[in-house]
């Protein structure tokens, strides 16, 4: 019997303060400004960088080439113009005289402004080979460098400058992005070109600077601006590349910051006017990028506008790391981007609903540059300029955008067409700003405002306490034992029970707190049911706080800082947290100690507030959360009796004196003296929160959401007793509360003596048949019951004469098929798939000992020594995966490796930029059962064809799997499969990571492989026929003509018998046969 649902509770009206009542909505004339005085005062950038001598700038410039090596005659870092170069006032612009921020604000409110289109698409039109990438300078480079498009700014500058010019002149772009998408040390490491990063950025920016100035000189009323493009790198800070360790990462926040900072130096030295962090698939990478940008701007003492562009990867409208568009915006909002938007991944039509949602929530300008549709079967883009204009004009008509451009597949004609279609429409107006509000995020955004209520009907945010060593003995035991997987179940239960925010505290003298915080956060962000909620990073040690922040992609709250460290360090801590975008809990401590009285609470909080909101900190007041110290009542010490009412009164006064701040506290502290009497404790909390939250304005608190009571749910005999104690209304309040506690304990004992209470199952799904329970556990990522359920399934199959392997190939694989179907339908997103795979791993791990015992018994029965077998025999199969030559993208590949590894396949991931020889040699070395090729860029498709050809030449007999963003079933069937496929070793396209397990298991199963391969072969043959048929010129006859060509059928005529049976040699001249050959399969 399921636990009865709680009846809906009536919302309690909240107190409203004068500063809320008197707030006047703010009409914006420009987007929200960064905190620097240069931005707030609109100080024009003088474009003179020669004197920058901070250590990080000097270190970046140490990598610049000599004049003899550089393509430029000088390495200038000054780009200022004479004040009288062009007339004063809009639409004219002169560097050093005018503020870029002011100009862009006016421009984006005057007309929809055009950005450029795809750089890669234009480069591919030149059909450059390896020699072109190398040129003379890199002719002896010790590895292949074709595909490193950013290098062309050095080796083929005329091509890059020509592409810039085409977008500016033919496309009508007013802003041009630099050819620096991968110009970081992290991305260039794949080509061993880390030392070229400064030069790559400088040269690309300078080429853009020069052509922009040339084009502007021809029409000064339309000045052209250089936008320094900062890509996402080929690493993700939020997803583990290791199947066995969800806390593993292949880059750190600090490494990303260092790489991005160096990129900024080169871009700005080369003359960039604006910086854009683009194609964000992992918001943690973006947070590192904006941190680096703002550090550079602080060092350079200039104002350079920042644009930020996210990428939503599928129909779920989420980034690769699982965030919604609103969650993404809330996470980077602290950087005060001048413009935010979406690019890549989707065509304009598919992007529309997500762009609308971003436009609805963004406080700044909004942009979009979509792909030219979705990739076609051959990896190209089919949308014509007219197609792209038709779909993009809807954005302009609806008033969603201020800047538009194109991404993959777009060209100058596409941009020109979009411009012509949209130029008659007005740009998106800046929204009127409502009251300041705390805006947090996990995978999803969470706004703390007047409509925020908890499960008890209070205007109150529940901060879950159970992932706090001080808040849960179970949590402490598990973390000490290192059982992080079980800790995730605790966190998930809190969110399901009504916690809006998850508090994480691992402070303990017997625990390495920094390592524990990092591990917990890195694991928690991979758990969708946990990380959909924002985190409160909670520690008394500031280094632990920072460690947690650097692994969290959302906007978190830090708990806590205080004046007990002195004003100087307090300001340093607060400034650093503001740069990281965190909200902050400020404890009511100062140099003298903890505030206990109302007067001290108010005094310390007001002093802290004044320091925080003023320069140099400039902390957003809505992100300040004061904790005025909830102290324990009912201790028997008289002065403690007023602690509850003093807190309640202090809350109201602090809120009156500190507009827009929030108030929090550890609610369980209040009833600490009544440990073990949960009914009493929750009753005290319910009464306290009614007064503190509804009557005085307390906004949030650390609570056990599952056990919270609304005030009306408190037993009547306890309501008055608890109220007397909380409000200190009677001298004997503590004695009466103690008496009530004793009475409750006696009642509890009586209930125990009344008999054994049946254990209630947590959820109704536990009553399903075992196979359905396993499917449910896989889909929901629930690991709690998977081992006993797997064992029950094993015993059931054994009783029917089956083996442990049948559990995997039957119910478990059926469950993973459901996961794949849901993912394909957009009803599950990537982190959930990973989580499902890890549940599968746990189930398989339970079955392995039984499978091993079965194998040993068979070998012994055959008279063989089971200990002399292959060490790899425990695996379901061995799989090699690689990103092909010329391609450095590996995120999708890593995810496939994780999913297969969780399903008991031994995966050999040999990395990126892998040549055909490396792939095939490794396959032979490891004796793999199947090979997977991955690629994201279009040229990778040709490399896959080459690998298939070579596999055929070398006599391989293993299946070949094809996957990646630009791959398709059609391309695989038409181009790849004919080079290698047979019934023994097919070539199969794998749509996404969730399908990999089904495909591989089908191929490696002796029972299912023949039918599976036959079905695939038939399907691919039909696809090839369909493709080749589409290439023919079709000439249709009229109905009358077709009828006239009809032949009569004489049923009496019988076909003659052949003159001879069997093979017959026919000798003909080759030239006579050529006209009858169908050449389509050869191309």
102 a catalytic residue? no
Assign 418 to helix, strand or coil: helix
Q: How does strand 461-464 pair with strand 445-448? A: unpaired
CA angle 241/244/250 to nearest 5° reads 25
Q: From CA 786, how far away is CA 772, in angstroms rounded?
A: 12
- What is 9-41 written as a DSSP string? -PPPPPP--HHHHT--PBPPSSPPPPSSHHHHT
For residue 911 the two structure tokens come to 């990395």
Q: CA angle at residue 813 from 811 to 814, to 5 degrees? A: 60
By three-state DSSP, how is residue 665 classified?
A: coil
What CA–CA distances, in Å, run from 1063 to 558, 953, 1067, 1072? 83, 28, 13, 21
Question: Parallel, antiparallel, or unpaired for β 905-909 and 960-963?
Answer: unpaired
Q: Which distant-in-sequence residues (6+ apart) come within 8 Å of 549 by Cβ?
A: 537, 556, 558, 577, 580, 582
Query: Is 940 among the residues known to form the active site?
Result: yes
- Residue closest to 345 by CA, chosen among 390, 407, 388: 407
Locus of tokens 């089956």: 802
387 upstream amide cis, omega within 30 of 0: no
Q: Which residue bears the tokens 């507030």? A: 609
Give the H or E element holding residue 299: helix 283-300
Q: Of the listed 691, 889, 985, 989, which one is catalytic?
A: 889
Which member of 539, 560, 940, 994 is catalytic? 940
Tokens representing 188 are 């260039």
Rounded CA-CA distance 541/627 in Å is 17
DSSP for 71-126 reads SSS----B----TTSS-SSTT---BTTB-HHHHHHHHHHHSPEE----HHHHHHTT
Closest CA to 120 of 157, 153, 150: 150
Q: What are phi and psi of 85, to 5 degrees?
A: -55, -45
d(CA 841, CA 835): 10
The runs of H, that is alpha helices, within 594-637 are: 598-613
Buried b (16+ CB within 10 A) or exposed e, 115-154: bbbbbbbbbeeeebeeeebbeeebeebeeebbbbbbbbbb
Separation of alpha carbons 646 and 599, rounded Å: 9
Catalytic pick from 203, 445, 649, 887? 887
Which residues are within 8 A (CB) of 660 and not within 5 positions of it... i.e. 6 or more apart? Answer: 19, 435, 436, 621, 622, 624
Q: How far is CA 317 from the centre of its chain?
A: 11
CA dist., res. 310 & res. 28, Å (int): 24
CB atoms closer than 10 angstroms to residue 551: 24
Q: Which residues of 566-593 are buried (b: 16+ CB within 10 A; e: fewer)?
A: eeeebbbbbbbbbbbbbbbbbbbbbeee
Residue that has been written with the tokens 């493009």 in this structure: 229
Strand ranges, E, within 209-273: 225-230
The CA distance from 213 to 220, in Å, is 9
CA dihedral sign of residues 92, 96, 98, 102: positive
Q: Would you call 887 a catalytic residue per the annotation?
A: yes
Q: Which two tokens stand for residue 714?
A: 């408190």
Structure-derived torsion over alpha carbons of residues 792, 793, 794, 798, reported in degrees to the nearest 10: 100
Active site residues: 887, 889, 940
């Amino acid at each position: 019997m399921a636990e009865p649902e709680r009846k809906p509770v009536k919302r309690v009206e909240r107190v409203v303060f004068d500063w809320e009542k008197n707030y006047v909505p703010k009409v914006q004339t420009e987007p929200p400004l960064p905190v620097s005085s240069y931005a707030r005062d609109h100080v024009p950038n003088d474009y003179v960088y020669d004197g920058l001598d901070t250590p990080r700038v000097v270190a970046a410039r140490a990598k610049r080439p000599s004049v003899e090596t550089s393509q430029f005659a000088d390495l200038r870092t000054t780009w200022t113009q004479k004040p009288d170069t062009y007339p004063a006032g809009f639409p004219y612009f002169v560097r050093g005289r005018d503020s870029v921020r002011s100009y862009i604000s006016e421009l984006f409110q005057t007309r929809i402004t055009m950005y450029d289109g795809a750089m890669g698409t234009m480069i591919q039109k030149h059909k450059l080979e390896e020699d072109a990438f190398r040129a003379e300078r890199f002719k002896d480079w010790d590895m292949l460098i074709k595909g490193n498009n950013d290098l062309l700014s050095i080796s083929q500058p005329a091509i890059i400058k020509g592409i810039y010019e085409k977008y500016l002149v033919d496309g009508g772009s007013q802003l041009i992005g630099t050819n620096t998408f991968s110009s970081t040390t992290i991305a260039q490491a794949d080509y061993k070109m880390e030392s070229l990063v400064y030069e790559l950025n400088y040269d690309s920016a300078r080429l853009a600077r020069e052509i922009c100035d040339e084009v502007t000189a021809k029409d000064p009323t339309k000045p052209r601006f250089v936008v320094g493009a900062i890509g996402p790198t080929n690493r993700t800070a939020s997803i583990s590349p290791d199947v066995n360790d969800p806390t593993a990462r292949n880059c750190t926040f600090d490494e990303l910051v260092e790489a991005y900072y160096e990129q900024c130096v080169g871009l700005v030295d080369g003359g960039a006017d604006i910086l854009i962090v683009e194609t964000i698939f992992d918001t943690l990478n973006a947070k590192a990028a904006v941190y680096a940008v703002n550090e550079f701007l602080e060092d350079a003492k200039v104002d350079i506008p920042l644009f930020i562009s996210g990428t939503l990867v599928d129909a779920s409208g989420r980034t690769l790391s699982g965030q919604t568009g609103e969650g993404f915006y809330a996470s980077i909002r602290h950087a005060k981007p001048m413009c935010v938007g979406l690019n890549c991944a989707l065509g304009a039509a598919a992007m529309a609903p997500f762009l609308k949602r971003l436009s609805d929530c963004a406080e700044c300008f909004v942009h979009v540059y979509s792909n030219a549709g979705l990739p076609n079967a051959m990896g190209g883009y089919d949308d014509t300029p007219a197609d792209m204009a038709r779909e993009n004009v809807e954005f302009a008509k609806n008033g969603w955008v201020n800047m538009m451009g194109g991404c993959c597949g777009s060209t100058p004609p596409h941009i020109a067409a979009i411009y012509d279609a949209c130029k008659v429409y007005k740009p998106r107006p800046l929204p009127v700003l409502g009251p300041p509000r705390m805006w947090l995020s996990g995978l999803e955004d969470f706004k703390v405002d007047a409509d925020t209520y908890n499960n008890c009907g209070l205007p109150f945010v529940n901060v879950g306490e159970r992932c706090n060593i001080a808040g849960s003995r179970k949590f402490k035991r598990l973390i000490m034992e290192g059982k992080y997987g079980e800790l995730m179940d605790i966190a998930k239960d809190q969110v399901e029970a009504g916690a809006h925010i998850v508090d994480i505290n691992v402070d303990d003298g017997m625990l390495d707190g920094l390592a524990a915080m990092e591990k917990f956060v890195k694991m928690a962000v991979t758990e969708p049911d946990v990380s959909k909620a924002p985190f409160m990073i909670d520690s008394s040690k500031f280094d632990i706080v920072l460690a947690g922040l650097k692994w969290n992609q959302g906007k978190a709250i830090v708990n806590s800082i205080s004046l007990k460290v002195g004003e100087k360090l307090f300001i340093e801590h607060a400034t650093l947290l503001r740069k990281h975008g965190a909200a902050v809990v400020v404890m009511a401590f100062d140099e003298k100690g903890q505030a206990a009285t109302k007067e001290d609470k108010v005094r310390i909080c007001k002093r802290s507030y004044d320091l925080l909101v003023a320069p140099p900190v400039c902390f957003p007041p809505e992100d300040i959360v004061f904790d005025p110290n909830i102290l324990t009542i009912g201790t028997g010490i008289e002065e403690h009796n007023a602690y509850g009412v003093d807190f309640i009164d202090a809350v109201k006064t602090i809120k009156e004196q500190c507009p827009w701040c929030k108030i929090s506290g550890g609610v369980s502290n209040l009833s600490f003296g009544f440990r073990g009497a949960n009914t009493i404790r929750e009753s005290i909390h319910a009464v306290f929160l009614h007064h503190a939250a509804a009557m005085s304005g307390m906004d949030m608190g650390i609570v056990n959401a599952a056990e919270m009571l609304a005030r009306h749910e408190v037993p009547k005999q306890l309501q008055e007793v608890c109220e007397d104690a909380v409000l200190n209304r009677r001298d004997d309040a503590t004695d009466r509360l103690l008496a009530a506690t004793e009475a409750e304990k006696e009642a509890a004992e009586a209930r125990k003596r009344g008999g054994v209470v049946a254990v209630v199952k947590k959820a109704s799904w536990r009553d399903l048949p075992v196979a359905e329970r396993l499917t449910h556990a896989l889909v929901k990522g629930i690991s709690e019951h998977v081992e006993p359920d797997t064992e029950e399934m094993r015993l059931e199959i054994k009783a029917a004469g089956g083996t442990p392997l049948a559990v995997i190939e039957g119910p478990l694989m059926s469950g993973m098929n459901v996961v794949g179907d849901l993912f394909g339908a957009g009803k599950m997103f990537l982190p959930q798939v990973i989580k499902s795979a890890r549940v599968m791993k746990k189930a398989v791990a339970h079955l392995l000992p039984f499978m091993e015992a079965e194998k040993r018994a068979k070998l012994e029965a055959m008279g063989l020594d089971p200990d002399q077998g292959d060490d790899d025999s425990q695996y379901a199969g061995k799989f090699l995966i690689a990103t092909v030559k010329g391609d450095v993208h590996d995120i999708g590949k890593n995810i496939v490796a994780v999913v297969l590894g969780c399903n008991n396949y031994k995966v050999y991931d040999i990395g990126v930029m892998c040549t055909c020889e490396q792939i095939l040699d490794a396959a032979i070395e490891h004796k793999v059962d199947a090979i997977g090729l991955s690629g994201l860029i279009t040229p990778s498709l040709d490399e896959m064809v080459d690998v298939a050809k070579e596999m055929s030449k070398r006599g391989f007999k293993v299946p070949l799997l094809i996957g990646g963003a630009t791959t398709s079933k059609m391309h695989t069937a038409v181009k790849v499969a004919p080079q290698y496929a047979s019934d023994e070793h097919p070539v199969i396209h794998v749509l996404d990571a969730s399908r990999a397990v089904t495909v591989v298991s089908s191929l490696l199963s002796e029972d299912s492989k023949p039918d599976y391969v036959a079905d695939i072969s038939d399907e691919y043959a039909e696809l090839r026929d369909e493709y080749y048929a589409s290439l023919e010129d079709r000439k249709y006859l009229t109905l009358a003509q077709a009828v006239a060509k009809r032949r009569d059928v004489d049923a009496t005529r019988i076909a003659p018998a052949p003159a001879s049976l069997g093979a017959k040699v026919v000798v003909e001249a080759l030239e006579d046969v050529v006209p009858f050959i169908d050449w389509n399969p050869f191309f």
